[in-house]
Structure 1
Amino acid sequence: MLDAALLSRIQFAFTISYHIIFPTLTIGMAVYLATMEGLWLKTGREIYLRQARFWQKPFAITFGMGVVSGVVLSYEFGTNFSRFSEIVGPVLSPLLSYEVLTAFFLEAGFLGIMLFGWKKVSPKVHFAATLIVAVGTLLSAFWILAANSWLHTPAGYTIVDGQFHPESWLEIIFNPSFPYRYFHMVFASLLSSSLLIAGVHAYYLMRGKHREFAKVGLSFAMWALMVLAPVQILVGDMHGLNVLEHQPVKLAAMEGIWETHSGVGLRLFAVPDQENATNHYEVVLPNVASLVLTHEADGEIQGLDAVPADERPPVAVVFYGFRLMVGLGLLMLALGALGAYARWKGRLYDHPLLLRFSVAMIPAGVIATLAGWYVVEVGRQPWLVQGLVRTMDVVSPLPAEQVATSLALFVVVYTLLFGTYIYFMRKLVRKGPDSGGAGEKNSVTSSEDLLPVTLNPDYHGREGESAEGISTALNKSGQEG
C-alpha cells in the first residue's frame, strides 16, 4: 500500500536535496568572484580578471539552477503540507519574505550588471555589483537558516488557537541553534566551492593546460582549504554541543546511543537496529563521546530510551549520515594539509598526489553538505516544530497515487536537468578560460574597461602588448615626430 504522507516527505526531501546543491556552490563562488575582481582592481594583474571572467559562467549556470529548483519548494508547502503555512505562517512567512526583499532582490538586481556589464559600466561599479551579489547570497542563507533553525529550536513565540504568533523577532531570528547552523552552513559552502575550484585548476595542471591561470586558482583554493577545514571542524564541534543541549535525542541518534548512561564510548562503526533498540558490530572507543561532549570521561549522555519509540528519528540515516559528513571533513583537512606541505616543498603545482587528490575531491563538499542536511532534518523527526508539531499532523490528505506520480515526474525532470547542468559545466571546464597574455588576442575586456595603471612589466594592453612594447612604440613615434 502506498502511503501519501511518506511519499510527500520523500518528494520534499528529494526536491530540497536537489536544490541545496546549487546555493551551496553559489555562495562560495560569489565570494571567490568578488575576491578575484577586487585583486584585479588593486593590482591591475590580468590573471585575476581572467579568473573572475571564467568563474562567472559556472556561477551563472549554478545560480539559475538554484532559482528554478527553489521555486518548487514553496508550492510544496501548500500542496503536500497544507496545514504547515496555517500553523507557522505568522512566524515563518515574514522571514521568508525578508529573504526575497533583502537577498534575492539584491542578487537578481545586480546579477545582470555582474554578468553583462563589463563594457557598460566602470570597473569599480562592476566590482560593486559583484560584491553586492556575494552579499546577497550570504543574506539569503541568513534568512533561510533563521527560519529553518526556528523549527529546530523555537523561541520568541506564543500559541493562540493552535497557531504560532511572534512575540520577539529578535528571539525568533537569533534562536538558540541559528548562529551555529548559519556559520556551519556558510563554511560548508565556502569549502564546497574551494574544492570545486581546486579540482578544476588541478585538472588543468595535470593536463598541462592554462598553467599560469591554474596556478593562481589552485594556490588560492589551497590557502582557503588550509584555513577553512580546521575552522569548520571547530564550528561543527560547537554546533554538536548546542545539539546536545537543545536536541539530545538527535545527538543520541547521531552517536547511536540507545541507553542513557555515563562514560559513553565513541562509535566509529555500528549497524543500528531500530526495532530492537540496539547496535550490531560496534567498533567503540571507550569514554571518548563523553569526553568530547561533556569534557568528562565519565560524563552522562542522554540516550534514545529517554523518549517513546514513536518519538525517535530513523537512527540509521542519522548515524551513517553523520559519519559520512565527518569522514569527508577529515579528508578536506587532509587535502589542506597536503597542500600546505607541497607549498612548503615548492611543489604545489606539480605534486602528483595533490593534483589527483584535488580532482577526486571535487564533489566531496556537496556530498558532505547533503549528508549534514540529512542528519539535521531527519534527526528532528517526527517533529516539524521540535517538541510541538509533528510532521504527520500537517500532511495534506492527497491520494497516494497523485503524490507517487508527481514524485516520479520530479525524479525524471530533475535527473534530466542535473544531467544538462553537468554537461554544460564540463563544457565550460574543457573550454577553459579566455586566452590572454603576450602574443594572444585578449577578448577579456576592452581598453576602456581596464584600470588606469602605470606601465609596469605585469601590464598588458588590449592586444597583449607589453609595457616595454608600448614604451618602444611611444619613443619611436616621438623620434619620427
Structure 2
Amino acid sequence: MTDLIAARSQMAMSLGFHIIFAAIGIALPLMMAIAEWRWLRTGKTIYLILAKRWAKGSAILFAVGAMSGTVLSFELGLLWPAFMGWAGEIIGLLFSLEGFAFFAEAIFLGIYLYGWQRVPPKAHWAAGILVAASGAASAVFVVMVNAWMNTPAGFRLVDGRPTEIDHLAVMLNPSALGEVVHMLLAAYAATGLLVCGIHAFLLLRDSRNQFHRAAFRIALAVGGVAAILQPLSGDLLAKTVAHYQPVKLAAFEAQFKTEPAAPLRIGGIPDTVRREVRGALEIPGGLSVLLYLDRHAVVTGLDAVPREDWPPVGIVHLAFQVMVAAGFA
C-alpha cells in the first residue's frame, strides 16, 4: 500500500465515522426545537418530555462528533501538509467560521440543557433554534470547503501561489449551493427517517403510546419533507458536476464513451479493460435527458482524457449507485 492510499484510507475511515454523528447533530436539534415549540403551542407535557429526551441525545452526539471532528482537523495537517500549506490561506477562513459555529452551538446547547425553568420559555426555545441553526451553519462552512476543492474559485495563481484571494467568491464557488443543500437535506432525511423508524417499531408494540406517536409525527415531518426534496437537489448537483467536472460524472455513471443519447445505467460492473458495463439495466438516452433535458445531447465520457487520468471507475460507480439506491429506498 502506498502512502497516498494509506492516507486516503485513513481519511475515509475517519470521515465515515464522523459523518454519522455530524448528520444526526444537524437534524436532531431541529426536531428537539420543534417538539418544544409544540409544547409551547399546545401545553401538552408529552412534547416537553420529548424535547428533553432529544436534548440529551443531542448533547451526547455533539460530544462524540466534536471529538471525531478534532481528529479530522489533525489529519488535514498531518496527512495533507503540502495541500494545507498551499490552500490554507484560501480555505482557512471557512474553517475559522466553522469553529465559530461550533462554539456557538456548544454555548446555546449548554443554555438549552441547563436553562429549563431558569430562562423564560420562549428564550429557552430560541436557544434550541440557535443550536439547530449553528449546527447547520457548521455543516455549511465545511461543505463549502469541499465544494471549493471541486470547483476552485476566488483567487489568482502567481508563480504557483494563490494571490488576490476573494473569500466571498471562495465561499460561493459554483458547487457550493448544490453541495450545501444536498448535505443538509441528506442529514434531515436520514436522521428524521431513522428516528421515525425507531418510533414506528415501538408503536407496533404499543400503538396507544402518545410519546412514540408524537415523536413519530415530528420525525416523519422532518425526514419526509427532506426526502422529497433530496432528489431535486441531487439533480441540481449532478448538472453542476456534468458542467464543471465531466470526467467525474463519467466515472459516476461508468460512461466510457463520449456520445449523444447516452444511456442511464442502473447497476452493473464496469470493465475498464473492455470499456463496457456488464449486467447494467440501460435506459436509452436517459443520462442525456437527466443532464441536459435533451435525449440527443452529447455526454462526455472517460475517453475524453488519457487513461492515467481516470478516477477508479469501479468503486466510484458502485458507491454512486449505492448512494442513489439508499436515497430512493
Q: Which amino acid aligns with 1:130?
A: G
The 3 A distance-change label for structure 1 pair 82 and 225 is closer
Give the Cα separation in 2 of the matches to 1:118 and 1:171.
Answer: 42
Contact 1:91 1:165 in 2 (8 A): no
Normalised TM-score (structure 2): 0.95
| Equivalent position of 1:130 in the other structure | 128
1:290-305 paired onto structure 2 within 5 Å: 290-305=288-303
With CA pairs under 8 Å and 6+ residues apart, which has the higher RCO, 1 or 2? 1
Contact 1:78 1:85 in 2 (8 A): yes
Is 1:168 aligned to residue 166 of structure 2? yes
Question: Which structure 1 residue ranges, 5 or more long, are not aligned?
Answer: 332-481
1:439-478 paired onto structure 2 within 5 Å: none
| Equivalent position of 1:378 in the other structure | none
Deviations 1:414-468 (A, max 9, x none): xxxxxxxxxxxxxxxxxxxxxxxxxxxxxxxxxxxxxxxxxxxxxxxxxxxxxxx
Q: 1:288 aligns with which of 286, 289, 307?
A: 286
1:41-440 paired onto structure 2 within 5 Å: 41-101=40-100, 103-208=101-206, 211-331=209-329
Per the alignment, in what secondary structure is the counterpart of residue 279 of structure 2?
Answer: strand
Q: Which amino acid aligns with 1:297?
A: R
Deviations 1:299-348 (A, max 9, x none): 110000111122211111221112112212222xxxxxxxxxxxxxxxxx
Give the Cα separation in 2 of the matches to 1:295 and 1:177.
Answer: 20
Q: Which amino acid aligns with 2:299?
A: I
| Equivalent position of 2:11 in the other structure | 12
Q: Which amino acid aligns with 1:271?
A: I
Is 1:38 aligned to residue 37 of structure 2? yes
1:8 Cα deviation from its structure 2 partner: 1.1
Per the alignment, in what secondary structure is the counterpart of residue 232 of structure 1?
Answer: helix
Give the Cα separation in 2 of the matches to 1:227 and 1:127.
Answer: 22
1:147 Cα deviation from its structure 2 partner: 1.3
1:96 Cα deviation from its structure 2 partner: 0.4
Contact 1:201 1:218 in 2 (8 A): yes
Contact 1:98 1:143 in 2 (8 A): yes
Deviations 1:254-299 (A, max 9, x none): 1110010111111112211234433222321111111221211111
Bigger mean CA deviation after superposition, 276-285 or 142-151: 276-285
Give the Cα separation in 1 of the matches to 2:208 and 2:71.
Answer: 39
The 3 A distance-change label for structure 1 pair 42 and 166 is farther
Aligned length in residues: 329
Which has more helix, going by share of residues? 2
The 3 A distance-change label for structure 1 pair 210 and 110 is farther
Give the Cα separation in 1 of the matches to 2:13 and 2:183.
Answer: 19
Per the alignment, in what secondary structure is the counterpart of residue 280 of structure 2?
Answer: strand
Question: Which structure 2 residue ranges, 5 or more long, are not aligned?
Answer: none
1:253 Cα deviation from its structure 2 partner: 0.9
Contact 2:199 2:216 in 1 (8 A): yes
The 3 A distance-change label for structure 1 pair 165 and 141 is farther
Normalised TM-score (structure 1): 0.66
Q: Which amino acid aligns with 1:128?
A: A
**RMSD of aligned C-alpha atoms?**
1.6
Per the alignment, in what secondary structure is the counterpart of residue 308 of structure 2?
Answer: helix
| Identity rate, percent | 36
Q: Which amino acid aligns with 2:8?
A: R
Give the Cα separation in 1 of the matches to 2:74 and 2:127.
Answer: 31
The 3 A distance-change label for structure 1 pair 148 and 274 is same
1:209 Cα deviation from its structure 2 partner: 7.2
1:242 Cα deviation from its structure 2 partner: 0.9
Bigger-Rg structure (1/2): 1
Q: Which amino acid aligns with 1:100?
A: G
The 3 A distance-change label for structure 1 pair 239 and 220 is same
Moved over 4 A (4+): none
Contact 1:90 1:166 in 2 (8 A): no
1:156 Cα deviation from its structure 2 partner: 1.1
Contact 2:33 2:125 in 1 (8 A): yes
Contact 2:35 2:218 in 1 (8 A): no
The 3 A distance-change label for structure 1 pair 162 and 81 is same
The 3 A distance-change label for structure 1 pair 132 and 166 is farther
Per the alignment, in what secondary structure is the counterpart of residue 153 of structure 2?
Answer: coil
Contact 2:31 2:222 in 1 (8 A): no
Contact 2:190 2:223 in 1 (8 A): no
Contact 1:153 1:177 in 2 (8 A): yes
Bigger mean CA deviation after superposition, 236-245 or 122-131: 122-131
Per the alignment, in what secondary structure is the counterpart of residue 294 of structure 2?
Answer: coil
Give the Cα separation in 2 of the matches to 1:267 and 1:63.
Answer: 39
Per the alignment, in what secondary structure is the counterpart of residue 56 of structure 1?
Answer: helix
Give the Cα separation in 2 of the matches to 1:98 and 1:8.
Answer: 26
Per the alignment, in what secondary structure is the counterpart of residue 199 of structure 2?
Answer: helix
1:203 Cα deviation from its structure 2 partner: 2.2
Per the alignment, in what secondary structure is the counterpart of residue 267 of structure 1?
Answer: strand
Give the Cα separation in 2 of the matches to 1:116 and 1:48.
Answer: 18
Give the Cα separation in 1 of the matches to 2:243 and 2:189.
Answer: 27
Per the alignment, in what secondary structure is the counterpart of residue 311 of structure 2?
Answer: coil
